[in-house]
């Protein structure tokens, strides 16, 4: 089982002459069996932390490693490969590619991994059916409802069998019914595919489902339960 670790992560942004310190000495270990929620008010730094843990952004200082591979020592290319093989990311605003159909969007990680073939297409088809998005496969993203877009974004995030699934407010823009569906789907996926969940959310009911809940406040991360 893989383990993702970050040590003494800091992140600051320079805004004109000011420096905004968003993350301060964050330490966190995520095992592949963990389900983790990260909560905190808007602007607390949840998205920033998720992007850094997933190798999408660099910390100002500190280290992140997956098993024994230290991200700061890897080339951009090697880090991309690690992301493609181990991580899935569901963005806060889904980030489906506007000009591609839903099926093409879901195939994209397979194309990047050079593994789009008859058998992976069949797996993608089964996945789309199991999460009830198959009937919209030939549509462009703008035609879909919020819940459908979110399901497509989740399918795209898990098509390469990641070990860690990052979800940035996956229920943030959904009504109660769609929100409950997405919550169930995420936990079903976690069990079925042995994938860790690292989820940013404001939702106080949703956080009750996770093994561990952390709060980001004043740039610091603390655990609420253990």
Residue 201 in the binding site for Mg ion (CB under 5 A):
no
Q: CB of residue 111 vs ligand ATP: minimum separation in angstroms? A: 28
Nearer to Mg ion, 46 or 149 (CB): 46
Q: CB of residue 170 vs ligand ATP: minimum separation in angstroms? A: 12
Q: Which residues pair with 14 in a beta bridge?
A: 19
Nearer to Mg ion, 93 or 193 (CB): 93
CB count within 10 Å of CB 42 equals 8
Residues binding ligand ATP (CB under 6 A): 13, 15, 20, 22, 40, 42-48, 92
CB-based contacts of 84: which residues, under 8 Å, 6+ apart? 109, 112, 113, 160
Nearer to ligand ATP, 30 or 106 (CB): 30
Show the site string, 44-63: x = touches Mg ion by CB under 5 A, - = not: --xx----------------
**Do 180 and 212 touch, CB atoms closer than 8 A?**
no
| Element housing 148 (H / E) | helix 146-158
Nearer to Mg ion, 13 or 193 (CB): 13
**Do 130 and 159 touch, CB atoms closer than 8 A?**
no
SS3 68: coil
Residue 199 in the binding site for Mg ion (CB under 5 A):
no
């Amino acid at each position: 089982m893989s383990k993702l670790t970050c040590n003494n992560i800091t992140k600051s942004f320079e805004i004109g002459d000011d420096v905004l310190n968003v993350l301060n000495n964050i330490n966190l270990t995520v095992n592949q069996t963990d389900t983790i929620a990260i909560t905190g008010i808007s602007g607390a730094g949840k998205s920033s932390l998720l992007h850094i843990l997933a190798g999408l952004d660099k910390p100002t200082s500190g280290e992140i490693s997956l098993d024994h591979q230290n991200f700061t020592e890897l080339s951009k290319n090697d880090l991309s490969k690690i992301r493609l093989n181990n991580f899935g990311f569901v963005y806060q605003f889904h980030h489906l590619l506007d000009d591609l159909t839903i099926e093409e969007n879901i195939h994209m990680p397979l194309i990047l991994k050079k593994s789009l073939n008859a058998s992976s297409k069949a797996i993608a088809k089964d996945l789309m059916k199991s999460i009830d998005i198959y009937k919209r496969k030939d549509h462009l993203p703008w035609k879909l409802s919020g819940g459908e877009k979110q399901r497509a974004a989740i399918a795209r995030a898990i098509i390469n069998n990641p070990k860690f699934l990052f979800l940035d407010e996956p229920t943030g823009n959904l009504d109660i019914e769609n929100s409950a569906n997405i919550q169930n789907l995420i936990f079903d996926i976690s069990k079925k595919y042995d994938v860790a969940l690292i989820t940013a959310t404001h939702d106080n009911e949703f956080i009750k489902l996770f093994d561990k809940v952390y709060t980001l406040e004043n740039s610091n991360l603390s655990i609420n339960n253990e």
